Amino acid sequence: PPSVSRRARRRRQRDTSSCAAAAPVAEADPQLVASALPTHPKLARGTLPNGLHYVVLPNPVPPRRFEAHLEVHAGSIDEDTDEQGLAHLVEHVTFLGSKKREGLLGTGSRSNAYTDFHHTVFHIHSPLEGPLGQPMLTLALEALEEIAFKPRFLPQRIEKERRAVLAELQMMNTIEYRVDCQLLEQLHSENPLGNRFPIGKQEQIVAWDHDKVRRYHAKHYFPANTTLYVVGDVDAGECERMIHEAYGATPERPHKTLAAGASEDMQVEVPEKDRRSAAPP
């Protein structure tokens, strides 16, 4: 009968509660808490003079392949109130506007990018050699360097990616997504995570001028605010040498952003309070 099942459920709940109350609480070992976590014996990490952090992990499986991920420590949580969706738009423009990334097409590699609350990541997965024997790790590192630090914010590219972002926004506008947004708004009501969704707001995306897109990039895309990760069938020492070669000449703070049709590169001054650096995990 229903009354029996209800009684049985209540009895099980009481038994569970009693067990939980009686369970001893283990005290943390202070020495263990204070000790540093062990690192992988083959892991190599460092920081270039311009502030760029890098992490290299040799891994021979699968053989003759590697992945390179460049993480910019800025995402939708770093946007101002009138910039909601700007991190995502800048990701589109920098990634898809890169000629060196286009040069990887047909080499057996694949690349992509994404924007989250806390970071923006560009990544390339590739064999070590291209079909014509090209040194793919060198080409991938150079492509990521161009994507992050040397984008050309051509007006036609900005408008093309603005349309792409608006299309993504419409595609995501499902009941499931709206429920997720409402849940996050409740869970993070006391911090900006509740109202800084990476896709942004339509009324703001359509309104930004091109200089605003460039200014966001100049504010957040600099070597000390990025971490490069390379994992694959690589020699750590040789990989570190390639990283120094590809990124060593990148300015600490690239104040200049290329503007199409301009006689001089646009200068963007960034307030001292925004010149933050993020160490790799």
Tokens of 34: 């204070």
Q: Token digits for 212?
A: 């605003």
Burial of 74 (0-12, 13-18, 19+ CB in 10 A): buried
Handedness of CA 181, 191, 118, 267 (dihedral sign): positive
Residue 83 appears among annotated catalytic residues: no
Q: Phi first, then psi: what are they for 127, rounded to 5°? A: -70, 160
Cβ 55 vs Cβ 230: under 8 Å: yes
Long-range Cβ pairs for the range 185-194 (8 Å, 24+)? 192/77, 193/77, 193/117
Let me know: does 52 contact 244? Beta carbons within 8 Å: no
Cα(141)–Cα(241) distance, rounded to whole angstroms?
12
Candidates 91, 142, 145, 240; catalytic one:
91
Q: Which of 130, 142, 131 is nearest to 100 (CA)?
A: 142
Q: Which of 83, 146, 161, 240 is catalytic?
A: 161
Catalytic residue check, 238: no
What residues are labeled active site?
Answer: 91, 161
